[in-house]
Amino acid sequence: MFRYGVGADYFAYNYLYDQAKNSVSEQLIAGSDRDIAYVLISSVFKSFGLSYQVFVASVAAVTLFFIYRLCRDYSRRPTLSMFVYYCFFYLTWSFSGYRQALVMTVGMYFFIRWKNKAQKYIPLAVVLSFIHLSAVILLIMYMFSRINISFQKLVLFSLIAALLSMLPLQNLLGYISPTFIDRLNPYVADGSSGIAYIIKILPRIIFLFLGLAVYNSRKTSEKERYYIRAFILGMIFFIALSSSDLIASRISLYGYYYIILVLPLFMSLYVNVTRIKIRAALYIMFIIITGLYLIKNGQDLISQSGIQCTNSCGILPPYTNIFNTDIYTFKKI
């Protein structure tokens, strides 16, 4: 909550906060080319004379609260789920993409809680889309996840996704509309190739297999299958669109978020019923996967923040906060 200069967009959001009006009514009159709900929330904080740091801390508090509630209410191993969140998402989305992190954590919590209350969830998703436009994906996921898709069909969809991943996304979109593809060029032209492509897609394939394994388990409840479907669909979308890193990541993110529930569920279902050697292998796999993601996210955060350390920043970024702003130099807009 006291962080300073951490994340790709910290100073960019600071600039946007400074541009917001000091009155909600003034902001409504002036309008905005940004997501209007986010700008209005900024105006509410500024109308009380609160600083950008208080605003960031408040957003972080709400985000962490809903992460805690999701793990507490829907995970078989809440502490393990919190640990997975820390390794997979905390350094990336809670610091760099905190606007989308806010939308994601709130939306995905009520995704489960309001499973059968479309009259509540759909308006919520619409409101969240005015904070971050990507929230419209929540509506698509909500519609598909309510369908009781069989295990065999999910396997079939996975195979189709693997075939689609081999197609040139940029060329296919070009047949739809030349203007459309021109606007998407910055996104579809960034795909990896060769070894980099394998490194990128292999973890998602492993996670897809884990999701299918727990989905097909007789010990999995219907409520758990509901969010596992969303997770599997997220992995399927990622693999199908993997020729574009950015599009695949953005579209699959909301389903992928449920890895914090699926991975501990897999450990809960399979670790205690296997032989000692296999159990040890599963624990080692879990440690390696979470450790590698933590290191990767830490390095990404150092790079995105542009923190300049005296020697080396190490594996994880230093704890830069409002009390030691003079010690480090940051990349600013």
Identify the pLDDT of residue 189. 47
Residue 213 pLDDT class (50, 70, 90 cuts): very high
Other CB atoms within a 10 A radius of the CB of residue 49 amount to: 8
3-state secondary structure of 209: helix
pLDDT of residue 187: 46
Q: What is the mean pLDDT of the chain?
A: 82
pLDDT tier at 277, thresholds 50, 70, 90: confident
Helix axes 78-85, 52-74, angle to 10 degrees: 140
Give domain status of residue 295, yes or no: no
Q: Which domain range does residue 267 map to? A: 148-273
For the chain, how many structural domains are there in total?
2
Q: 172 vs 165, 179, 214, 329, CA distance in Å?
A: 12, 13, 34, 44
Name the more confident of 223 and 98. 223
Q: Could you tell me if residue 43 is inside a domain?
A: yes
Same domain for 140 and 54? yes
| 309 lies in some domain | no
Q: Is the pLDDT of residue 194 over 70?
A: no
Q: Domain check: are 125 and 216 in the same one?
A: no
Shared domain check, 80 and 216: no
Q: Are 55 and 322 in contact (CB under 8 A)?
A: no
Q: What does the alpha-carbon distance between residue 154 and residue 161 come to, in Å, rounded to a whole number? A: 10
Through-space distance between the first and last CA atoms of the chain, rounded to whole angstroms? 22
Check whether residue 58 and residue 88 sit in a common domain: yes
Residue 57 structure tokens:
């801390």
